[in-house]
Structure 1
Amino acid sequence: MRLLLSLVSLSVLSACGTFTPVVIDTQRNIEKEEITLDENEPIGGEVPHEVNAQVNKWVKYFTGRGRRHMERYLSRSTRYEAVMKQILREEQVPEDLFYVALIESGFRSSARSHANAVGYWQFIRGTGRAYGLQINAVMDERRDPELATRAAARYLKSLHTLFNDWYLAIAAYNVGENRVKRLVMRYQTRDFWTLARRRKLPRETINYVPKYLAARMIAKRPTQYGFDKVEYQPGLDFETLQVSYPVNLKTLAGKLGIAVDEFKEFYNPTYLTDYAPTTKKRGGLTLRIPKGKLYAAQEYALESKVIDVAQMNRLLNTKYAYHRVRRGDTLSGIAVKYRTSIRTLKRINRLGRRNLIRVGQRLNVPLYSGARIVASSSSSKKVASYSGQKTIHRVRRGESLGVIAEKYGVGLSKVLRANRLSKRSKIYVGQKIIIPGKHSIKTTQRHGSSYVVKRGETLLGIANRTGVSFSNLLKYNGLNRRSKIYVGQKINLTASRSVASKKLHRVRRGETLSHIAVKYGVAIRQIAQANGIKRNHRIQIGESLVIPH
């Protein structure tokens, strides 16, 4: 019946003079033709080439004000271009998606966005893990050029499967698939340019696809756009070393005669510390070794094996909490709050030397209060052990090595030697400090009933030094935890008559100075004078206020 209808249609078209009939062999069985695809042929075809006003705007930018940025990106692009494009072909996506990494990170493994997206392809933590990337305190596979590229290819492929359009897939890579899916369903269109023209997408995403297209045009024909003097970096030529044990990268790089920064940044950017751990997921440990040095690396790998595996496992099991920066926050204040160091905060957040943070920024903070851990190898010294008589002191908040030594009446140099520390060593709350010999805490001699503040001292340190509890020290002096002290200030170590005769009020939720003044039948001015604060002072919950008679 289907054949008869086809013949009738052909006869009609022929009669109209618009079609020349083709002779059909009706005796041959008509079978469904099997479609075979090349295993490396992109699914969904290539990314379309389109030039419009939006694309030209970005071409003008990259060849004008943004020229120095594009030159830098093009210079880096050749470092991993062959490797990345090969992976894109293997995953059956267009190799031109390589240029998405150009506008995402400028081909920089350490790139980090304001949203904490990391690496060449700028994965956020959740998406990276969803596509098989491992992220912890020792390693971040979002920084790996091969693993991250494979994850990005699979993510982009799934987005194309969802939208059946490469422009929408690239837009969703930027803003998220759910946002784009809602817009497609609401406005019943799969045309990116229609959504962009109606300004239904975020401004960044409206610019994202034209920016990609402009960057691709320039990168594929750089001389045509005036980029004929770019100094392209040579592609990294490397071999891979596979071992079944963790390796100290610093030790291995030293034995191979390579700068450790170069060995980590260019060849093995995955690793955030000197540790390179094994993982079950990857079946051991794979390292990139410069071409020609593989034999030497195989020989030196065992000598570079990590001995202190316990420390490495402690780091591997570390998880981050998040701190949202508020007005008035500083790195030092955040470090004290989470019992860590400024250096650790800068390292895990990839901050620069200037310590600049902004309100609303989200910072990674470690959940444990540990000292800085340095990778150790077979050539490293073991942790100090003290064989003589000793007393163990557990560090409290606000204590320093000098304060601890003075408490036990022991010289600072002896404490440093017993713990194999230096004067610059950092200690942390809860750390065990060896005090040589049998000691009890030395009772500090007080000068009368007051103490004069010296340079660098804090209220907490004075409390520890004098043996007065911190809460009593605040009460005796009419201070609170946020009060500032200055050099030469006299601090009461006992309750004076004037203080004892006054009432103390602990601020509760919802209270203000005016409420408290009415409650006790005094003027706001009197409370402010008694506590050394201004009348418009913002009181905090839990703050102690002196109430004058």
Structure 2
Amino acid sequence: MRVLLQAAGLAITLWLAGCASTPGTDAPSPLASDGTGPTPGIAAKTPSGPPVVPSGPLTPITAVHASSRSVAALQPPADLWERIRGGFAMPDIDSDLVRQHEQWYASRPDYMQRMTDRSRKYLFHIVEELEVRGMPSELALLPYIESAFNPQAVSSARAAGMWQFMPATGRDYDLRQNFFRDDRRNVLASTRAALDYLQRLYGMFGDWHLALAAYNWGEGSVGRAIAANKRRGLGTRYVDLNMPAETRNYVPKLLAVKNIISDPDKFRAELPVIENHPYFDVVTVDRDIDIELAAKLADVELADFKALNPQLNRPVILAAGTPQILLPWDNAKVFTRNLAEYSEGRFASWTAWTVPATMSVAEVARRVEMSESELRSVNTIPPRMLIKAGSVLVVPRPPSKQDDVAGHVAQNGQLALAPEVSLRRRVVKAGKRDSVATIARRYRVTAAQVADWNDIAVGARFKAGQSIVVYVPVRAKAARSKSGHRIKQVSSRKKAAPKKRRR
């Protein structure tokens, strides 16, 4: 009986060992940016998944087999900072610049606290994406350097979002930018695009420091700097290249933040607790809905809703253009339940309207029954601008309109503006053969404008002698001298008289 019990105990032990380990040769290596092999400096991680149950007769595990197996942790790290530290894989740089930036961040605890606290909404998702791709977890800290983890950040060069994409680069990586949304600020889309871009740069240079330099300075600039050093027989590492000050400090800043997170006690830094689980969930939106109503149905503050959905430019979510939103994990189910039960009125009080002709803001406001100030505010229209024909605006949704905004408008709508020109009302007499079209050509305006000014159809004809209202630009009066005589304006194309040389 004792022999049977010992045999059963041995079998259970071997079975548990098989469950807690997977053969190292079967674990996929983290992919490089080209997807062809392991990324240097990154240890292969055992993928999560169901336990491996051995089949067939049990055999003892030899020392050779044991050395090739990894033991799965019973519990994942409770703290996300610990998980991030475990994925650090970039080589350090021991330089005065790194130490200077360590001191700069460490001497500003309030700034560090705000920055790290802001990141709690996004870090888990970024770390998950990095681990799936087998990329160093230092890259999860890059938005600290780019934007202080502010998804609404806009640079003087028009880079936007927490990953700071320029408009053209954003379009290269499928980040849609239209009147209703800017995906450079979209948490999911911009993270995907940034990691795609970084993987591509790593594939070009084979070095994460150089990839980061290219992310900041441009791949062409880094390539030319490397080529110049090669011609001079100099090194081609990050620390060897001649770069602008911003790029020279870029990687040292990242490594300084990494060092503080690696050992916060050394720098007397306090990191906010960020639990190792998702902060948000993805929710599908299948109809247009006001942002304020969506936040209310989810039972979240409007500011928190906007922090998770910073790509939204207008007060309404268009389902045809933004079919998904992010909500705090526990509030996602609240939103879904409340949305299904909502019966208090319309979901969207706003809709999109395409401007039929170039108009002033005041004229558009009159047509859509809004105040001029509200129209400017909702659509972000600066003063002294005309709204060009074909532009899309957000306007109040009439009670009779139930249809949601069409997909081609939600996906491609743009607002085009032109400088406002002072117009003067003028009444002219129609000739025998004058029509809306001939008057429009004569005064260089559109037929739609002439029709609108005179409250007639675009294809209408005028009777001879009929009064017609047109608005024409006010011409600048000729300048006069102090004596009152007109001053002849000299064409700018004429050459100026040559200046005398100074001896």
TM-score range, shorter chain: 0.5 to 0.7
Give the match for residue 43 of structure 1: 39
Residues 236-255 of structure 1 deviation map (CA, whole Å, 9 limit, x = unaligned): 74333213443332333345
Give the match for residue 470 of structure 1: 474
Q: Distance in 1 between matches of 2:161 and 2:185?
A: 4
Question: Structure 1 length as normaliser, TM-score?
Answer: 0.53
Give the match for residue 61 of structure 1: 104
The amino acid that maps onto 1:37 is P
**CA offset at residue 150 of structure 1?**
1.3
Q: Distance in 1 between matches of 2:355 and 2:187?
A: 27
Q: Distance in 1 between matches of 2:341 and 2:198?
A: 41
The yes-or-no answer on 1:146 pairing with 2:137 is no
**CA offset at residue 54 of structure 1?**
1.7
**CA offset at residue 376 of structure 1?**
3.9
The yes-or-no answer on 1:272 pairing with 2:313 is yes
Q: Distance in 2 between matches of 1:442 and 1:310?
A: 32
Q: Secondary structure at the match of 1:287?
A: strand
Q: Distance in 2 between matches of 1:433 and 1:233?
A: 60
Residues 172-321 of structure 1 mapped to structure 2, 5 A cutoff = 172-188=214-230, 189-195=235-241, 200-228=242-270, 237-264=279-306, 266-278=307-319, 285-290=323-328, 291=331, 292-300=334-342, 305-306=347-348, 310-311=352-353
Give the match for residue 385 of structure 1: none
Higher relative CO (Cα under 8 Å, sequence separation at least 6) belongs to: 2
Change (3 A) 1:371 1:139: closer
Q: Distance in 1 between matches of 2:379 and 2:269?
A: 36
Q: Distance in 1 between matches of 2:487 and 2:245?
A: 55
Q: Distance in 1 between matches of 2:388 and 2:490?
A: 31
Mapped contact 2:125–2:278 kept (Cα < 8 A) = no
Residues 419-469 of structure 1 deviation map (CA, whole Å, 9 limit, x = unaligned): xxxxxxxxxx96998999xxx9999xxxxxxxxxxxxxxxxxxxx8xx9x8
Residues 49-87 of structure 1 deviation map (CA, whole Å, 9 limit, x = unaligned): 3332221111111122x4443232122122211111111
Q: Secondary structure at the match of 1:115?
A: coil
**CA offset at residue 310 of structure 1?**
4.3
Residues 70-469 of structure 1 mapped to structure 2, 5 A cutoff = 70-188=112-230, 189-195=235-241, 200-228=242-270, 237-264=279-306, 266-278=307-319, 285-290=323-328, 291=331, 292-300=334-342, 305-306=347-348, 310-311=352-353, 368=388, 373-376=393-396, 397-398=421-422
Residues 111-144 of structure 1 deviation map (CA, whole Å, 9 limit, x = unaligned): 1111111101001111111112111121111112
Q: Distance in 2 between matches of 1:133 and 1:371?
A: 21
Residues 1-40 of structure 1 mapped to structure 2, 5 A cutoff = 37-38=28-29
The amino acid that maps onto 1:192 is Y
Correspondent of 1:507 among 473, 490, 493: 490
Mapped contact 1:184–1:190 kept (Cα < 8 A) = yes
Q: Distance in 1 between matches of 2:454 and 2:294?
A: 37
Mapped contact 2:283–2:326 kept (Cα < 8 A) = yes
Aligned positions, number: 351
Change (3 A) 1:212 1:314: farther
Q: Secondary structure at the match of 2:161?
A: coil
Change (3 A) 1:442 1:125: closer
Residues 519-530 of structure 1 mapped to structure 2, 5 A cutoff = none
Residues 181-236 of structure 1 deviation map (CA, whole Å, 9 limit, x = unaligned): 112122134311122xxxx11111111111110011113433331122x6568887
**CA offset at residue 286 of structure 1?**
0.5
Q: Distance in 2 between matches of 1:169 and 1:181?
A: 10
Mapped contact 2:143–2:149 kept (Cα < 8 A) = yes
**CA offset at residue 506 of structure 1?**
3.3
- Show structure 2 runs of 5+ residues with no match: 1-23, 33-37, 43-88, 357-371, 403-419, 428-447, 456-465, 499-503
The amino acid that maps onto 2:148 is G
**CA offset at residue 299 of structure 1?**
4.3
Q: Distance in 2 between matches of 1:161 and 1:224?
A: 35
Structure having the higher Rg: 1
The amino acid that maps onto 1:368 is K
The amino acid that maps onto 1:221 is D
The amino acid that maps onto 2:388 is Y
Give the match for residue 417 of structure 1: none
Question: Structure 2 length as normaliser, TM-score?
Answer: 0.57
Q: Secondary structure at the match of 1:135?
A: coil
Mapped contact 2:375–2:395 kept (Cα < 8 A) = no
Change (3 A) 1:131 1:442: closer
Q: Secondary structure at the match of 2:129?
A: helix
Q: Secondary structure at the match of 2:193?
A: helix
Change (3 A) 1:58 1:503: closer
Percent of pairs identical after alignment?
Answer: 24
**CA offset at residue 164 of structure 1?**
0.7
| RMSD of aligned Cα (Å) | 4.7
The amino acid that maps onto 2:491 is R
Q: Secondary structure at the match of 1:240?
A: strand
Mapped contact 2:210–2:238 kept (Cα < 8 A) = yes
The amino acid that maps onto 1:55 is V
